[in-house]
Amino acid sequence: MAKAARVKKSKSARKLHSRNVVQRKNTSLPMSVFDNVMKQFDAAARKLKLDKSLLEFIKVPRRSTIVKLPVRMDDGSYKMFTGYRVQHSIARGPAKGGVRFHPDVSLDEVQALAAWMTWKCAVVNIPFGGGKGGIICDPQKMSEGELERLTRRYVADLIDIFGPDNDIPAPDVGTGPKVMSWFMDTYSMKDYHAVPSVVTGKPITLGGSLGRSEATGRGVMLSVREAAKYLKLDLTKATGSVQGFGNVGSVSAYLLQDLGVKFTHVSDVTGAIYNPDGIDIYALVKHVAETKSVLGFPGARKVRPNDVLYAKVDILIPAALENQITATNAHRVRAKIVAEGANGPTTPEADTILNKNGVLVIPDILCNAGGVTVSYFEWVQNRIGYFWSEEEVNRRLEEKMVAAFHDVLRTSKENRTSLRIGAFMLAITRVIEVVHLRGIYS
């Protein structure tokens, strides 16, 4: 039994390592997801003539918490789960970021995602810092009761960290509105009244915001629309490809289809499909809801998953996992625009190759910031006790995303950098400005 357990643990560790680590070109040294975001930060910081000690202060997470969570399972046994919560920065406001339930969650990944949240919130200029959380578990293999007990244990053990003015979680991979409901209820027990502003991404009846479910995908669409204007690309004649047909990939695709984009390639975890005459995204959404796969969609043929990345299209939306475009395959990307729906889909080495080849990369901290922007709107509505129409939410989101895109574009052009470095320079400058104004308590 002990030997079998060790073998199982070893396989799990190898799987986790392979997901969170890519190999640097021409070297055996690994680059983790956290290394990725730190390298992006350093590239931007070198362009800024700022106090190096202050840069170091805002670069690394302020707090990383690891908790062991005992949970009673349905069979009466107890199982220990490992949970994380990272607050990367609280300079501009409360830490903001989702909680993911996934077998491959790691501290490295959570720290990277928390850092990206800091820069994302600064790019769209909302008063939040960056946070992220996660629990190592497989929600697909757990009952609803087990997931509820796990969620409540996680909140209870970290209850002094969370709060509407301290740290505001949201849904992420493996979590959703129901988990946020349990989260809100558990936290509310402490204050003896409902505290809806402690989390975002809640059901509408519990204080969630209209427009939140489409927000990240809508932000991707708005970013692509503005990029197309800049490149003088006619979207009614443009073609597209989507890697990852979850919420972000599907929403961004059908909203862009509404603007005239023809999608020829789509993939999800089950495989990839292709139709040179175009795939009806609305019909594909319905097909996936019924079959749980893009495969078998009428009129489309199955292709290799990587064909989605290498398709000769105008717009590529990587909306799956991190580290998908690397130094080993970036030269095969033929899109004019890469719109990062996922967090960290492109490595720093791949960025260099794409930029050299004239590909416009809309970085994740800009492109997929629509979700956290509407989360901010939800938090505001909870605090004032007044809720906006979906049209109002979408209008405010468009204002924020369009302003952010042009702020990043202007910074990029002034400093002759890529949009990613421009976005990081803008975000770092905004965080440093607040640090200067507030000072550092000593």
**Residue 3's CB: how many other CB atoms inside 10 A?**
7
E runs forming strands in 311-356: 315-318, 337-339
* Catalytic residue status for 49: no
Give me the residues paired with residue 113 across strands: none
* Sign of the Cα pseudo-torsion (183, 187, 188, 194, in order): negative
Do 313 and 359 contact (CB within 8 A), yes or no?
no
The token pair at 57 is 């202060």
Do 218 and 397 contact (CB within 8 A), yes or no?
yes
Do 116 and 150 contact (CB within 8 A), yes or no?
no
**Which one of the listed residues 96, 120, 132, 400 is annotated catalytic?**
132
Burial of 340-378, coded b for 16+ CB within 10 Å and e otherwise, reads bbbbbbbbbbbbebbbeeebbbbbbbbbbbbbbbbbbbb
Is 368 strand, coil or helix? coil
Q: Concatenated DSSP letters for 77-116?
A: -EEEEEEEEEEEE-SSSSEE--EEEETT--HHHHHHHHHH
Q: Counting Cβ atoms within 10 Å, is residue 172 exposed (0-12), middle (13-18) or buried (19+)?
A: buried
Do 365 and 120 contact (CB within 8 A), yes or no?
yes
Pairwise CA distance, residues 262 & 278, whole Å: 5
Residues identified as active-site = 132
